[in-house]
Structure 1
Amino acid sequence: MRVHVIGCSGSFAGPDGAASSYLIEQEDADGRTWRVLMDLGSGAFGPLQKLLDPAELDAVIISHLHPDHYLDLTGLEVFWAYHERTDLGQLPIHAPEPLAERLSAVLSREGHVPDGVTCSPFDYRVITDGHRFTIGPLEIEVREVVHPVEAYGFRVTSGDEVLAYSGDTDACPALDELARGADLFLCEAGYIEGRDDRFTGVHLTGRRAGESAARAGVGRLALTHIPAWTDPSVPLAEARAVHDGPITMVRPADILEVSR
């Protein structure tokens, strides 16, 4: 299993890259490559097109409805609705229940069908805490995490390989459960100790991400969602102070191998 980092800037698109978006690729037993997108935040649809033709996507999973994790679905909808190809069908979008109405509001329209076409290009599928579903060779487990809005993290399994993705969250038992024994733990660290102590229930610090990784016994911790105003070396040092396993700081265009 591979994870392509499309965007990893925290809370908003930064000067060097887009907000959160990650493309998972995995081959099935017949050699077909499945491509599933986790989040498509502000600014991410552009660099996604450098990596692949969006018509090759098999599904999209959205962790929560903050703009830095879903807003560029507006561009993907235009692509899917008005493409010259007529065989695309509906693209499955696994997301919190309000997504369809939220996109319609952003686009100032009534209903879920874009102007000039007869049906929605997206097949909206609601995720909830504890929900499990399968996309090709990928098995996905959903857990609700701690954030100001309805938010989820994901545990993605294929064979013996396990990817855990925090989404946006503060420390919570569900996060540790998602990460338990994962080969790769893609975890946000949007805050730093001391500077952001006045905020609770919003984001992890590097230290809290490292503590979760240590409790879960992960193979490798990959820190992400670092805002443009934060020096990435700070959350990285925080995580290394409490977790002695391999730790990396992700960057746009990185390719992360899930296998240990």
Structure 2
Amino acid sequence: MKLTILGSSGSVSGPVNPASGYLVTVENSPSVLVDMGPGVLARLQERQDPCDAHVVFSHLHADHCLDFPSLMVWRRFHPTAPAKGRNLCFGPESTPEHLGRLSADGDVVVDDMSDTFAFAPWRVGQEHIVDRVSIVPFDAVHPVPAYSLRITEHTTGKVIAYSGDTGWTDNLVDAARDADLFLCEATWGAGDGDFPPDMHLSGAEAGRAARLAGAKRLVLVHIPPWGDVDATLAAARAEFDGPVEVGSPGMEIEF
């Protein structure tokens, strides 16, 4: 199993870093694209056929889903290589309507994705089979329905945990328990400041979650372009004595 970071910027895309998008690949299986913020489709084109991917969403804020309508155009209307069949899509219950309105022609129309994606909503705590990986969603703490995801490769048992966007919750520790790789948001940087509650994590909280979960490796993501990367990293390392680094576009991690 391999994870490729297509974009890891927080809240908005940066000059050289798209917003959230993470590609999970397993041999002899379509890849799984986790979130699809602005700029992610361009980076996906550099890696593979955009049609050869299942798509899952942690939540539906724009910085995590706004490139999906463009993917629909690619899958349906590419002149020589449109999608040959349907792929899977998982996300919050409202995903078909929310994204359908973004790609519809008209204010009261909802574009039906069922011609090219088979959608099913997340069910917390349940295993969702996506070809050669399983994904279990955990409730996150965010202003909209949001989930942290635990991704397990069937053959090796290797685990990628992804926080999505969340404030502090013990569910995050459960999602990352003994994970080989923990992708954790650190929007609030070093945590110095008066931040809204129940929305995001600091670098220190990301490190604490990794420590409590017994994760093997922590990669910090979702740091805004204006964030202090060095201070965020230092705060995480003060809480977690395992390997810690900041996720950057193009980073590849194999298991």
1:239 aligns with 2:236: yes
Q: Equivalent residue of 2:38, what SS? A: coil
Partners of 2:102 and 2:130 in 1: CA distance = 28
2:22 maps to amino acid: Y
Q: Secondary structure at the match of 1:17?
A: coil
On the 8 A contact 2:3/2:24 being kept in 1, the answer is: yes
Partner Cα distance (2:112, 2:151) in 1: 31
- Is 1:144–2:139 an aligned residue pair? yes
Partner of residue 251 from structure 1, selected from 236, 248, 252: 248
TM-score by length of 2: 0.92
Deviations 1:124-158 (A, max 9, x none): 21113223111222111111111111000111112
Q: Give the aligned partner of residue 189 of structure 2.
A: 192
Q: How does 1:50-199 map to 2 (within 5 A)?
A: 50-57=46-53, 59-83=54-78, 84-85=80-81, 88-109=84-105, 110-113=109-112, 120-158=115-153, 159-199=156-196
Per-residue deviation, 1:86? 6.2
Cα distance between partner residues in 2 of 1:90 and 1:196: 46
Task: Name structure 2 gaps, 5 residues minimum.
Answer: none
Letter of the aligned partner of 1:111 in structure 2? V
1:65-93 alpha-carbon deviations (Å, 9 max, x no partner)? 00110110011111111134466112211
User: Identity over the aligned pairs, expressed in percent?
Assistant: 38
In 2, Cα distance between equivalents of 1:64 and 1:216: 23
Match of 1:44 in 2: 40
* Partner Cα separation in structure 2 for residue 8 and residue 86 of structure 1: 27
SS of the residue corresponding to residue 26 of structure 2 reads strand
| Separation in structure 1 between the aligned mates of residue 24 and residue 137 of structure 2, nearest angstrom | 16
The alignment partner of 1:19 has SS state of coil
Alignment check: 8 A CA contact 2:51 2:82 kept = no
Give the secondary structure class of the aligned counterpart of 2:35. Answer: strand
Q: Distance in 2 between matches of 1:11 and 1:253?
A: 19
Cα deviation digits, residues 91-135 of structure 1 (max 9, x gap): 211111111111222234313338xxxx63222211132231112
Kept in 1, the 8 Å contact 2:207–2:237? The answer is yes
Question: Residue 55 of structure 1: CA displacement?
Answer: 2.0
Q: Distance in 2 between matches of 1:208 and 1:55?
A: 36
- The Cα shift of 1:48 comes to 1.0
C-alpha separation between the residues in 2 aligned to 1:138 and 1:106?
A: 29
Distance 1:143 1:217 in 2: 17
Q: What SS does structure 1 have at the residue aligned with 2:64?
A: helix
Residue in 2 that maps onto 1:10: 10
Shift of 1:198: 2.9
